[in-house]
Amino acid sequence: MASSSLDRFRITGGCRLEGEVSVTGAKNSVLKLMAASLLAVGTTTIRNVPDIADVDIMADLLTRLGCTVTHEGSVVTIDVPAAPLHRADYDLVRKMRASINVLGPLVARVGKAEVALPGGDAIGSRGLDFHIKGLESLGATAHVEHGYVIAEAPNGLIGTAIELDFPSVGATENLMTAAVLAQGVTTIDNAAREPDLVDLGEFLISMGAKIEGLGSPTITITGVKGLKPTDHITITDRIIAGTWAFAAAMTQGDITIHGGRADHMEVMLEKLTSAGAIITSTQDGFRVQMSHRPKAIDVATLPYPGFATDLLPFIIGMNAVAEGHSIVTENVFESRFMFVNELMRLGAQITVDGHHASIDGIPQLSGAPVEATDIRAGAGLVLAALVSDGETTVDGAFHIDRGYPNFAEQLVSLGAKVSRE
C-alpha cells in the first residue's frame, strides 16, 4: 500500500511507562453495531465510538447503501431508509473486513445482499464458508461469483438449528443479525462468546429482538416481524486495555487503565500475574505494576474466554525480553506469526514451527527498522521498540491507526520517547 504522510513511528527505547490511560469504545464492537443498524428504519445512535479510520470506512459503506450517517466526536447517528441498497463494493470492503457484517442484516431486511470478499488485515484466509453455510441453512441461497458473496432470500428467512464447526465471531454475528427477522426460532450452537458479540446481542435486544443465551455456547433467537432504532453505548476495547497491560509489564512500569474491564480479560490478567505483575482493581478499571523483568509464560490462543489471538503479539513481545523459555501456540489464525520475522530483526530469539513459537528471553532487544503487517502486530512492534536499545522505526503506521486512536500521544504521556514522521 502507498504510505501516507506520517506513516512511521520513531521510538527510542529504554523508558519505563508510568501514568494513566483511558480506553475507548471497542473497534470490534462498534463496526458490527453500525452494520446492524441496517435492521431498523429510522435513526439509531451509537455512543463511545472510537476515533479510528474503520468507523469512517463503515460510515462510507452505509452511506452508499442509502443511509445518512453523521459522526461527531464519539457519537455516530445512522438514519436508515425504508429500502436500503444491497451492494457493498470492493473499493470499500477491501479496506476493512468488518464490511462482511452487512451481509446478515441486508439479507434479513431486503432479501438480497452482494458483498465483495473482504481484504483488511493480512492474517490468514479466514474463510467465509461459515457465513455462507449458515445463511443457506436459514433458507437463503448464497454463492461467490466474480469476487462477491451473493445471498438472496426473496421470501424471507426461516429459523433453524445451526451448529458452527468453529465458534467464529463473524459468523455468529452475521447469523444472529439475520435470524432476528427470520420466521420462527433459530439456535446457534458452538456460538462465539466474545464480549463484543454480547454487546451486539444487547444492541439487537434494545431494538426489539428476542435473544437468549448471549455469552454462552448456545444462542436462541426468536424471530420478530420488525425492529426499531435504538440508542446504545459501545463497550470498551479489551484488546486496547490488554495492550496497555502488556506495555506496563514489558517496560517494568505502572499503568492505571481507565475503562479496562477486568471481567472481560481474566485469562490475560492471570498470565500477567504469573509473569510477576501486580494487578489491582480501581473504581473504573485496573492498575498493572511490574517491578522486575517478567517471567516467561506459556500461552495458547483460543476463542473467548480463552487467551485472545489479538493479544498474541504482546505476549510474544513480553516473552522475548522475559526471564526463561516459553512456547506460544496460535490456534485461531494461521498467519499471525508474520510478526515474529519483524521481532527477530530486533534481536528476539524465536523459532517458529507451524502453530508454535518457541522463545528464549533475552534482557533487551536491539533497535532496527521494522514494518507493521496488521493492527496488533504494529502495536506489538512499538511496545518491543520500547524495550530495545537505541532507536527503532516502525513503518506501516496506518495499520496501527486503524485500531489505536492517538497511540503515539498516549505513549508520550506515559513517558515514552515516540514520534510520528
Query: Are residue 227 and residue 242 in the same domain, yes or no?
Result: no
Helix, strand, or coil (residue 321): coil
Joined grid coordinates for residue 194: 466474545
Write down the H helix ranges in 256-337. 266-274, 312-320
Give a yes or no: residue 3 inside a domain.
no
Joined grid coordinates for residue 297: 509464560
Helix, strand, or coil (residue 215): coil
Query: Are residue 171 and residue 297 in the same domain, yes or no?
Result: no
Report the alpha-carbon angle 195-197-203, nearest 5.
105
Query: Are residue 260 and residue 174 in the same domain, yes or no?
Result: no
* pTM of the shown model: 0.91
Say if CB 410 and CB 400 are below 8 A apart.
Answer: no
At which of 233, 254, 275 does a domain end?
233
Q: Which of 228, 269, 231 shows the shortest CA–CA distance to 248?
A: 269
Give a yes or no: residue 136 inside a domain.
yes
Query: Are residue 191 and residue 329 in the same domain, yes or no?
Result: no
Query: Are residue 192 and residue 319 in the same domain, yes or no?
Result: no
Amino acid at 317: G
Catalytic positions, written as ranges: 121
Report the alpha-carbon angle 403-115-208, nearest 5.
75
Ranges under pLDDT 50 in the chain: 1-3, 122-125
Give a yes or no: residue 117 inside a domain.
yes
Please count the structural domains in the chain.
2
Query: Are residue 275 and residue 359 in the same domain, yes or no?
Result: yes
Give a yes or no: residue 2 inside a domain.
no
Give me the CATH number covering residue 205: 3.65.10.10
Give a yes or no: residue 106 inside a domain.
yes
In order of 18, 72, 353, the CA distances from 135 in angstroms are: 48, 35, 36
Q: Residue 384 and residue 418: Cα distance in Å, rounded?
A: 12
The position carrying cell 464490511 is 99
At which of 198, 233, 268 does a domain end?
233
Joined grid coordinates for residue 283: 473504581
Query: Are residue 286 and residue 312 in the same domain, yes or no?
Result: yes
Give a yes or no: residue 37 inside a domain.
yes
Q: Residue 300 and residue 249: Cα distance in Å, rounded?
A: 19
Query: Are residue 348 and residue 402 in the same domain, yes or no?
Result: yes
272's CB contacts (< 8 A; 6+ apart) are 245, 246, 249, 279, 288
Say if CB 334 and CB 127 are below 8 A apart.
Answer: no
In order of 102, 203, 248, 277, 295, the CA distances from 291 in angstroms are: 46, 41, 10, 8, 12
pLDDT, tens digit (0-9, with 9 covering 90-100), for 154-176: 999 999 999 998 898 988 999 99
DSSP H or E segment with residue 418: strand 417-420
Query: Are residue 18 and residue 35 in the same domain, yes or no?
Result: no
Query: Are residue 14 and residue 106 in the same domain, yes or no?
Result: no
Give a yes or no: residue 376 inside a domain.
yes
Give a yes or no: residue 336 inside a domain.
yes
Q: Residue 272 and residue 98: Cα distance in Å, rounded?
A: 30
Q: Residue 88 and residue 77: Cα distance in Å, rounded?
A: 20
Query: Are residue 89 and residue 222 in the same domain, yes or no?
Result: yes
Domain hosting 196: range is: 27-233
Question: What is the edge-to-edge ordering of all strands in the sheet holding 18-22?
Answer: 18-22, 254-258, 285-289, 278-282
At which of 233, 267, 298 does a domain end?
233
263's CB contacts (< 8 A; 6+ apart) are none
What is the pLDDT, as a whole number, of residue 127? 62
Query: Are residue 207 and residue 255 in the same domain, yes or no?
Result: no
Termini Cα distance of the chain = 17
DSSP H or E segment with residue 344: helix 338-345
Helix, strand, or coil (residue 96): coil
Joined grid coordinates for residue 245: 497491560
